[in-house]
Amino acid sequence: MMLLALVAINMAAYQTRVRVDMTGEQKYSLSAATRSLLKNIDEPVTVEILLTGEFPAVFRKLQNSTNDVLQEMKAYAGSKLIIRYADANALISDEVKQQLFASFIAEQRSMGLNVDSILQSQPGLQQQMMDQMVSDSLKTLGVLPYTLQVQQKENESSQRVIFPSALVKVDGKVLCVDLLSGKTEYSRSSLTGRLELDEAKSIGNAEALLEFKFADAISKIQRTQKPMIAYSIGNGQPMGPETYDLVQTIEANYQFNTINPNTAPVIPKEFAAVLIVKPSVPFSDSVKMKLDQYVMNGGKLLWFVDALYAEKDSLAYTQRTLAYDRGLNIDDLLFKYGVRINRDLLQNLPPNCDLSKLVVGVAGGKPQLSDVPFNYYPLLTGADNHPITKNSEGVLGLFVNTIDTVKAEGITKHILLSSSENAKTVSTPAIISLDELKTIENPKLYNRSFLPVGVLLEGNFSSLYGNRAGAEMRAYFQQYYGAFQTSALKPGMQLVVADGDVVLNNYNRQQAFPMGFSAVQDRSFANKIFLQNTLEYMTGNAGIVALRSKDAAVRLLNKEKVETEKLTWQLVNIAAPILLVLTGAFIFGWWRKRKYASVK
């Protein structure tokens, strides 16, 4: 009977899955939104993890956390979620690699280059070129390489390229998940006093986002109907190469359209959101009324506005430019919704700003260039208390204005982007000159903190034209919307960012760079992530975006304490167990001797 009971208990335990998450941040638990998503997967989803192999402890922790999250997801998705492990270099076959290389060599020969002699003189060059081609091909999928420092001996280390990514696949569609993305943390070295990359904390932030990343990818790749996003034109909005990354980013997960409110009868309610990016021509009352009624009928607006004319192109040619009001005629509309864009320019105290190449002298008749902080290009801080910006890098701005929030009945305001802790503003009109960069300004002047730059508005908006529209105008909108609305039919959202360049990209004759890319620092900031998260929050699954609020506590050892108490803990861990065993043996021997002595 006892044996049968044990067998029954084991079978019941095998069939019933019970786990208790004892962590304070519920690290090993999935949210209700994720569980619901996984239980309703239509077609099998395959996840290929490219972070494979042996790694140092910090990356091994990320590898294990990735596996834990996916195994937890599989418990709810069952056979609909397939988990595989793959070598990134094996994603492209040797045959394809040879074809790519042969095509490249043929192209070089057609240009008259003697590539054969170059390859013969450098035996390892062919392999290097093929590796680079593989890396470039993987980048098109979003798989980014990471150079890992591997400690070999005490004073020796080597470099190894890894791919901390995963591919989510359904029916020929592929989305890449960057396992390493998250807020980069720095800590001050006790030896040099300098800020250094804190790899452990940075990867801890990446771990906190794993559930969001996979849930977001699974949600998007399963969509059968993509929300429609419109890009407003007709008021001087950019339409050239500077919008390339913006269009590509939207088209990846949404239907992209353009609309000209100046000529369109109304803005269709079918648009999930409308982007208004860096307008330069004033808005007429007719256009403003169309935007207003679109909002009243449930539409969502994303404003990326430069209230002042201040362009980097002018600085490049003349070394100075005048910042002045564009006169866009939208102040009353935004004020009604709860914000006011100020006519000023934000400056962050370096190093919380981008760098600019500047001639600082002449040597040997040649100009000497130096990377100089340009405080008119501030690095904007994301709010830690909202899922759109939590656990994200900074967002790069160019000639940014500040925002004041004003009272608007029924509207909640969330400040998503702000200045650094040390900032100041410049009143306009003002002359901006590159000569300013040659002097070191008094840091005490930067005495303002976290000035708002980007604000999310949520609630029931009231129409600016509620008491101003005549009978003719009311009848006009009635024929398209069914009625002229004086207040929103349901709670809505608007985003207002006082910088039009946040979602635009730089470009040259060869290529367009990602939005938020700093050519001087050769790195991208979180501009694209900010746009993606905002669009998903406003038009997609807000429950999935809310997963970004999840925390992951990084419980690290105190390095200084470890060093000072090293011997003590070595004795505790090595000598104490031996001492316990010897003591136990002595007591057992004494007890045994006494027991059997009494028997005699």
DSSP string spanning 59-125? HHHHHHHHHHHHHHHHHHHGGGEEEEE--GGGGS-HHHHHHHHHHHHHHHHHTT--HHHHHHH-TTH
Rounding to the nearest 10 degrees, give the CA dihedral for residues 168, 171, 172, 174.
Answer: -20
User: Using an 8 Å Cβ cutoff, are 403 and 342 in contact?
Assistant: yes
Task: For 501-545, write each residue's pLDDT tens digit.
Answer: 999 999 988 889 999 999 888 888 999 999 999 999 999 888 888
In a domain, 427, yes or no: yes
CA distance 61 to 247: 36
- Give the single-character DSSP code of 548: G
**Contact between 380 and 419 (Cβ < 8 Å):** yes
Which pLDDT value is given to residue 161? 79
Q: What is the DSSP letter of 301?
A: E
Cβ burial of 15 (10 Å; 0-12, 13-18, 19+) is exposed
Backbone angles phi, psi at 521, to 5 degrees: -85, -10
Residue 593, in any domain of the structure: yes
* Cα–Cα dist 122/115, whole Å: 11
Looking at per-residue pLDDT, the higher value among 273 and 90 belongs to: 273
Q: Do residue 370 and residue 310 come from a single domain?
A: yes
Where would I find the H helices in 297-374? 312-318, 331-337
- Look at residues 200, 221, 242 and tell me which one is the last residue of a structural domain: 221
Contact 413, 338 (CB under 8 A): yes
Task: Give the per-residue pLDDT at 154.
Answer: 56
Residue 3 within a domain: no
Q: From CA 305, how far away is CA 299, in angstroms rounded? A: 19
Cis status, amide bond into 351, omega within 30 of 0: yes
Q: Which two three-digit tokens encode residue 183?
A: 């807020």
**pLDDT attached to residue 559:** 62
Query: How far is residue 517's CA from residue 520's CA, in Å, rounded to a whole number?
Result: 9
Same domain? For 138 and 214 the reply is yes
Does residue 180 sit in the same domain as residue 311? no
Answer with the one of 206, 221, 236 that is the final residue of a domain: 221
Considering the chain, what is the average pLDDT of its residues?
85
Distance, in Å, from the CA atom of 147 to the CA atom of 5, rounded to the nearest integer, reads: 55
Q: Whole-model pTM?
A: 0.82
214 and 339 fall within a common domain: no
> pLDDT per residue over 280-331, tens digit each?
999 999 999 999 999 999 999 999 999 999 887 777 667 788 899 999 999 9
Q: What are the tens digits of pLDDT across the range 65-74?
A: 999 999 999 9
pLDDT tens-digit series, residues 66-95 = 999 999 999 999 999 999 998 887 777 777
Return the residue matching tokens 């990377």. 371
User: What is the rounded distance in angstroms from the CA atom of residue 276 to the CA atom of residue 536?
Assistant: 17
- Residue 230: pLDDT over 70: yes
Bridge partners (DSSP) of residue 195 are 188
Structural domain total, the chain: 3
> Please, which residues have CB within 8 angstroms of residue 173's CB and are 6 or more apart in sequence?
221
Does 383 map to a domain?
yes
- Domain end (from 174, 203, 221): 221
Total residue length of the chain: 600
pLDDT > 60? residue 396: yes
Lowest mean pLDDT among 55-59, 227-231, 236-240: 55-59
Whether residue 38 is found in the same domain as residue 182: yes
**Residue position matching structure tokens 């990356």:** 59
What is the distance between the alpha carbons of residues 37 and 76, in angstroms, rounded to a whole number? 9
As separate numbers, helices (DSSP H) first and strands (DSSP E) second, the chain gives: 18, 27
Question: Residues 527, 588: one domain?
Answer: no
Q: State how far the Cα of 394 lies from the Cα of 453, in Å rounded to an integer.
A: 13
Q: Which one of 171-175, 360-364, 381-385, 555-559 scores highest in mean pLDDT?
A: 381-385
Give the pLDDT of residue 158: 66
Give a yes or no: residue 571 inside a domain: yes
Q: pLDDT (tens digit, 9 = 90+) per residue, 581-598?
A: 888 888 888 887 777 776
Same-domain status, 392 and 327: yes
Alpha-carbon torsion 239, 245, 249, 252, what sign? positive
**Does one domain contain both 197 and 331?**
no
Identify the domain containing residue 53 by its residue range: 27-221
Maximal C-alpha separation, the chain: 119
Tell whether 42 and 166 lie within a shared domain.
Answer: yes
Burial 389-417 (b: 16+ CB within 10 A, else e): bbbbbbbbbbbbbbbebeebeebebbbbb
- List the one residue out of 396, 353, 344 whose CA is nearest residue 501: 396
Residue 58 lies in a domain: yes
Residue 152: is its pLDDT beyond 60?
no
Calculate the dihedral angle through the C-alpha atoms of 119, 122, 124, 130, rounding to the nearest 10 degrees.
-30
Burial class (CB in 10 A: 0-12, 13-18, 19+), 59: buried
Torsion angle, alpha carbons of 558, 564, 570, 576, to 10: -100
581 and 523 both lie in a single domain: no
In the three-class reduction of DSSP (H, G, I as helix; E, B as strand; rest coil), residue 48 is classed as strand
| Shared domain check, 419 and 480 | yes
What does residue 205 show for φ and ψ, rounded to 5 degrees?
A: -65, -40
User: What is the spatial distance between Cα 436 and Cα 438, in angstroms, rounded to a whole number?
Assistant: 5
Contact 394, 363 (CB under 8 A): no
Identity of the amino acid at 451: L
Quick one: 435 and 522 in the same domain?
Answer: yes
- Look at residue 147 and tell me whether its pLDDT is greater than 60: yes
Flag whether 244 is in a domain.
no
Q: Give me the pLDDT at residue 166, please.
A: 93
| Whole-number Cα distances in Å, 473 to 51, 357, 470 | 60, 53, 5
Omega before 123 within 30 of 0, i.e. cis: no
In a domain, 117, yes or no: yes
DSSP state of 390: T
pLDDT of 493: 97
Instruction: Give residue-wise pLDDT tens across range 111-138.
Output: 777 777 776 777 766 677 777 777 777 7
